Structure 1
Amino acid sequence: MNLPFKPRHALAAAMIAGVFALPAHAQYVGPSEAAGTPTVAAILEKPVDDQNVRLTGHLLRKIGDEKYIFSDGTGEIVVEIDDDDFPPQAIDAKTKVELLGEVDTGKRRPPEIEVDTVRVR
């Protein structure tokens, strides 16, 4: 038995197969809490090089080129923030900020935070 071939049937079948072959790329975009988010005091006590951190507090003062003193209320730590990583808003010692970055340890200096993102809270 010879069935007539219709190009539109082939096209429809290919489209359906293509839809099912694509992987789903959904991401969670709601709020989250990082379990065990460290404090400045905990970082200073037991620094872990390259540990990702999220800290909330205040930039107290600038101490050098792209270097600042940050406090979350548990202690003070040096943070390095590239000028182009600052948000467009002005930030002073009274502005609450969230810093996302990683711990940078050194043999001859206390640990610092290399900041990737600064958010005004």
Structure 2
Amino acid sequence: MKHQMIRGMALVAVLGASTPLWAQYEGPGSETIKTVEEAKKASDDAEVVLTGHIIRQINHEDYLFRDATGEINVEIDGDEWGAIREPVTPEMTVRISGEVDYHQTEPTDIDARQVEIIETAYRPAMTGLEKG
């Protein structure tokens, strides 16, 4: 009896480890918000994946984000910067994944879960040979 219980627990552990950690519904009604304009109209906790630029820091964890459709405040906690080890500038294109944070008395903003650098603006290296 004891051996059967141990085998059962081992089976549950193996099956649990093989299950995707972020499994979620995908289908009608589960569309991810992709623009600032859509995010401003979305309901609280709607999933967002925005691509654009962080154009300035407002305070410790709040930033102003801009894409082609508008601007919105984004809260980025320290651990949401992930593996980024370089300063993020307004010229860099970033992808922010998170959710809409709707407020009745304040403008809607985004609570970021992850920030990724998509593209860094090209800047020629200074070699000392430039004429100018």
TM over 0.5: yes
Misfit runs of 4+, over 4 Å: 22-28
Q: Partners of 2:98 and 2:105 in 1: how far apart?
A: 21
Please, which runs of 5 or more residues in structure 2 have no aligned partner? 1-6, 21-25, 119-132
Tell me what 2:91 maps to: 94
> For residues 117 and 107 of structure 1, do their structure 2 counterparts lie closer, same or farther at Cα, with a shift above 3 Å needed?
same
Could you tell me how far 1:48 is from its partner in structure 2?
Answer: 0.8
The partner residue of 2:71 within 73, 76, 79 is: 76
Q: Partners of 2:115 and 2:105 in 1: how far apart?
A: 27
Note the alpha carbon deviations across 1:42-98, whole angstroms, 9 max, x for none.
121x22101111110000100112000001110100000012321212201001100
Tell me what 1:6 maps to: none
Counterpart amino acid of residue 39 in structure 2: I
- Greater length-normalized contact order (CA 8 Å, ≥ 6 residues apart): 1
> For residues 65 and 36 of structure 1, do their structure 2 counterparts lie closer, same or farther at Cα, with a shift above 3 Å needed?
same
Question: Residue 55 of structure 1 aligns to a residue in which SS?
Answer: strand
Q: Number of matched residues?
A: 102
Identity over aligned pairs, percent: 37
The partner residue of 1:118 within 93, 115, 120 is: 115
TM-score between the two structures when normalised by the length of structure 1: 0.69
TM-score between the two structures when normalised by the length of structure 2: 0.63
Please, which runs of 5 or more residues in structure 1 have no aligned partner? 1-17, 29-33
